[in-house]
Structure 1
Amino acid sequence: MNAGALSLEEMAQILEATKPEWQTLDAADNSPPENSNNADNTVNLNALPDGTYFLGTTSNPKQGGEFYIVLAKNPNQIEGFRYRYQTDRSECFTGTANGNFVSGANVATYVIDPPTSDWIFQENTTLDLSNYQKLPFDQIPSSIEVQENLSECMALW
């Protein structure tokens, strides 16, 4: 990371701003709520066979401003990236499948801060994917370079 590109205070602000969008849970209680229901349209990560999946907060895979995830599961290890369609916003994450949560997750947020850009890391959190639904993998927009993005994310850990 380039020293001087972002101050520690700026990094903390970016991480805090990212937190509500991911619906992260309090790091002190790194477990899903006991009353978390897995609604019919949400994804139970544990029930998915090993493979690569496309998830979205909407059923339209090209809706501007919406969040989408491409993740690889093997066997309960999750690695993936999340992006906001038609923006420069992206994050990588890795963790353990736990229903519709990713537990013990490490999250890397790519921050574009001209003239330099870099990753900011958040460790050992829980990601709530209950607002995401499984979408057909072949509907990933062609502008999203799936293999390149997944490889870049996996290389971070």
Structure 2
Amino acid sequence: MTRESETPTTPPTLNPETTSENVGDRGLENLPDGEYFYGQSPTPDAPGQLYVVFRKTANSMSGLKYAFQTDNSGCFQGIAQGEKVVDLQGAYAQPSRDGLQWSMEQNLEPLDLTGFHSIGFENIPDYAQQSFQQCVAIFAE
């Protein structure tokens, strides 16, 4: 039985993360829906370190993974499970005569975010923000 005076719960904000959390503190599936920026380094610009920018809705995740100052980047979609993204699909841009073509890959190895640091979605570099939006759009089709 509920009382009419009870205050309804506030829905989670779009960027609910804090900079002190690691993925292992809560598990990916327990994060509120929203957009996140995690990295192997607690700073957003460590050369060669892997970073992941993603949008989480329920247990579904889509986004961008990249290594800072390298050509290693790609889009992904999968399911949050513990500290991993499983049932992983990938999309990678391939140059062609008609511009960029997207190459899709299925059944990729899980993306393990064990030990990754929450950096704060507001700290995403501009180029990564643009690529992230493109990745989300690819998997929304």
1:67 pairs, out of 41, 46, 50, with 50
Give TM-score scaled by structure 2 length. Answer: 0.69
| Distance (Å, rounded) in 2 between the aligned partners of 1:136 and 1:120 | 29
- Which position in structure 1 is the counterpart of 2:87? 104
Number of aligned pairs?
A: 116
Note the C-alpha offset of 1:117: 5.0
Q: Which has the larger radius of gyration?
A: 2
Deviations 1:47-105 (CA, angstroms, capped at 9, x unpaired): 11000000001112111111111100011110110112122321100111111111111
- Bigger mean CA offset, 64-73 vs 87-96: 87-96
Partner AA of 2:112 in structure 1: D
Of 19, 28, 37 in structure 2, the residue corresponding to residue 54 of structure 1 is 37
The residue type equivalent to 2:135 in the other structure is C
The SS at the match of 1:149 is helix
Cα gap change, 1:117/1:131 in structure 2, threshold over 3 Å: closer, same or farther?
farther
TM norm structure 1: 0.63
- Distance (whole Å) between structure 1 residues aligned to residue 40 and residue 22 of structure 2: 11
* Structure 2 match to 1:129: 113
Could you say what secondary structure the match of 1:94 adopts?
strand
CA RMSD of aligned residues (A): 2.5
Work out the CA distance in 1 between the residues paired with 2:133 and 2:123.
20
Q: What are structure 2's unaligned runs of at least 5 residues?
A: 1-20
Cα distance in 2, alignment partners of residues 85 and 78 from structure 1: 21
Partner AA of 1:48 in structure 2: L
Where 1:144 maps in the other structure, the secondary structure is helix
The answer as to whether partners of 1:45 and 1:99 remain within 8 angstroms in 2 is yes
Equivalent position amino acid for 2:29 in 1: N
> Matches of 1:68 and 1:145 in 2, distance apart?
10
Gaps of 5+ in 1: 1-39
Deviations 1:14-33 (A, max 9, x none): xxxxxxxxxxxxxxxxxxxx
